[in-house]
Structure formats: C-alpha cells, structure tokens
Amino acid sequence: MTASPASAPGPGSLTVEVIGIERPADGIRQLRLAAPDRRPLPSFVPGSSILVTVPPEHPDEVEVVRAYTLIGPAFEPDAYAIAVREIGAGSRRIHRLTVGRSLTVSLPRSGFAPVLAAPEHLLIAGGIGVTPILAHARWHHETGGRITALHVHQPGRDAYRDDLRMLTAGRVTHLVGRGGVVEELERLIGEADPAAHLYTCGPDGLVRTVEEVAERLGVTADRVHSELFTTPERPSEPFTVDLRNSGRSIEVAADQSLLEALEAAGVDVDSQCRRGVCGRCCIPVSGGSIDHRDLYLSARERAAGTEMMPCVSRALGPALEVAL
Ligand code: FES
C-alpha cells in the first residue's frame, strides 16, 4: 500500500527538514529535504522546481527565497533533492544549513517538462543548469526514452558526471568551456531523429546559442525548450506604463524596476523575492510587448504575453499597458 503524500502546512507550501547534505562538486551543496513525518512528498514532473524559503539568521536580515530544480526521483519521492551553487548571499545562507533544519518549500511547479510523444530528446546543460537535465535523464532512463546529453561546464565543475553517464548509457559529451559548442550542437542535431526535441538549461549565452543553432538547422521552435538558470542581464531603457483600470500613466526609469515605479506611485503590488523567482508579484498585461527577465514563467506563459513579473521584467519598447 502507498502512504498518502505529506500534507501542506498552508496553500501551496510544505514544511520539510534537511536530512542530508552532500558536495557533488566544488562550490555545490546537494540537500535532501524530507517531510518531518517521513511520508512521501508530492510527485512532480521532471524539470519541476520548488521555491525554498530560508528564514533570517539575525534580526537585521530578511528571509531568502530561491528557486531550485528537483533532481531526484519524481514519483512519490521520500525526499526532494536540490543542488545549490554558492553565488551570492542567499545561496551562502543555504550552504550554511545543517541537517535537522526545518524549512518551508513550495509545491513543485513544472515549466520545463519532457514531451512524451517525442522520438528522441537532446538534453543540453550549461554549468549547474545540469540539474533539470538530470531530472529529465532520470525519467527517460526509467521509461525507456531515447536521449543524448551535452554538458558544457568550467574546469572541475562537472557535477553529476557519473550520474549523467549512467542515466544516458554513455550517450553524453562534456565540453570544458564554450569552445566547440556550436560544432557539437551541429553534430548532435544532425545525427538526431528529425522530430527530436531539444531541452536546454543554463546561462543566457548558452541558451541563446542553442536556440540560434537549432533555428539555423531547421528545428522548429515548438521542439526547442529553454530554461534560463540566471536572470538575463541586459541594458535597461526607460518606458511608460499605462494603468488600464485607473487611466494613470507612470514613467519607469532605466535604473528602476517596474515594481519600484508602481510602488512609488502608490500602486499596491504583492512581492516576495524581488528577483524574478517566486511569482508573487505577477501582474496582468493588457497591451504592448514584454521583455521577460524572470525565472518563473514557462515558455508558454511568456509567449502568451498576458502576465509579467514587474520586479525584473520590463517593456520591450517605449510603453506597456497593465490591467491594474
Ligand atoms: S517578487 Fe518574486 S517574482 Fe517578483
């Protein structure tokens, strides 16, 4: 008999406990998070992520919210496994967590799922962007899907090398640095089934390269699935936001987020992470094009162009209309 999944303490969230910490590579901690009563956690789709909320350690600190991909087994897992690279104060605080520490995490959210009907899957990871690729590879390993993987990483940063080799039955290439990436992509796509799907997760530059090579080789956009690992850093221009419901117009300066501009104008927008990962500040968009810079919305949601995260995302052009 299967135990019922652990219950959530509040809508959309779970209380978990750190039950294991490993170091799969320099600068990376893998945490295993289980329900306090050790019931199975909710199942998830490969490529799903959770938001981890770490309470402050001192009175002058604020809570930290970060999104991490689940890398372990997906069906009624005994624990969620996440890999955390140390980049900045937030991840450093997560690195300081010890076994037994209690945390709040969101329920898994999928925005990077495998397409079941695809005859073959090319999995392309950059750096720690290997984590959702690992979850995909594990799922295909268990279900018999045909996969080939490419991991582009810095010297000594080949976390999960042995796992990838095992899960892909050796069909994995490692490249140290970006040299040769385009040629390797051309080879992989050229040798793959014409209906294969591509999945890429990593920094902005690598993801854009994969998308450009795929488009040049005739891979249709619906067969390319991308997930950014870090928010893209692009120059920001000022723009005007029109509030449809109130008829007001607000100027957003180049060095100001839309969320900051709305708050300064007295418009109440809920927020939490203020860095594009939690989804809390999401607002409806009724006109104009969006420069999506968040890590929360799925490719499908971005393409719809009807919602945005004003803490990081901006207008693609001189003006935007939001339904506020
Ligand atoms: S406040 Fe978290 S996505 Fe904007």
How confident is the model at residue 10, as a pLDDT? 52
| CB-based burial label for 59 (10 Å; 0-12, 13-18, 19+) | exposed
Is 82 a pocket residue for ligand 1 (Cβ < 6 Å)? no
Q: What is the pTM of this model?
A: 0.81
Long-range contacts, stretch 273-279, CB < 8 angstroms, 24+ apart? 273/51, 273/65, 273/66, 273/311, 274/311, 275/231, 275/311, 275/312, 276/231, 276/309, 276/311, 276/312, 276/313, 277/51, 277/65, 277/66, 277/67, 278/51, 278/65, 278/67, 279/309
Rounded CA gap, 88 and 76, in Å? Answer: 32
How confident is the model at residue 1, as a pLDDT? 35
* pLDDT tier, 90 (very low <50, low <70, confident <90, very high otherwise): confident
Query: Closest ligand 1 atom, CA of 311?
Result: 4
pLDDT in tens, 224-266: 998 887 777 778 899 999 999 999 999 999 999 999 999 999 9
CATH of domain 239-322: 3.10.20.30
Residue identifier of the C-alpha nearest atom 3 of ligand 1: 276
Yes or no: domain 13-109 corresponds to CATH 2.40.30.10: yes
How confident is the model at residue 229, as a pLDDT? 75
Is 307 a pocket residue for ligand 1 (Cβ < 6 Å)? no
Domain(s) labelled CATH 3.40.50.80 in the chain stretch across 121-228
pLDDT in tens, 155-193: 888 889 999 999 999 999 999 988 899 999 999 999 999
Q: Average pLDDT, whole number, for the chain?
A: 90
Pocket residue to mutate for ligand 1, from 258, 281, 301, 308, most atoms within 8 A of Cβ: 281
What is the CATH architecture of 121-228?
Answer: 3-Layer(aba) Sandwich (3.40)
Of 15-24, 213-222, 234-243, 269-278, which gets the smallest average pLDDT?
A: 269-278
How confident is the model at residue 100, as a pLDDT? 96
Q: Which two tokens stand for residue 88?
A: 């900045």
How confident is the model at residue 2, as a pLDDT? 36
How confident is the model at residue 6, as a pLDDT? 46
Domain(s) labelled CATH 3.10.20.30 in the chain stretch across 239-322
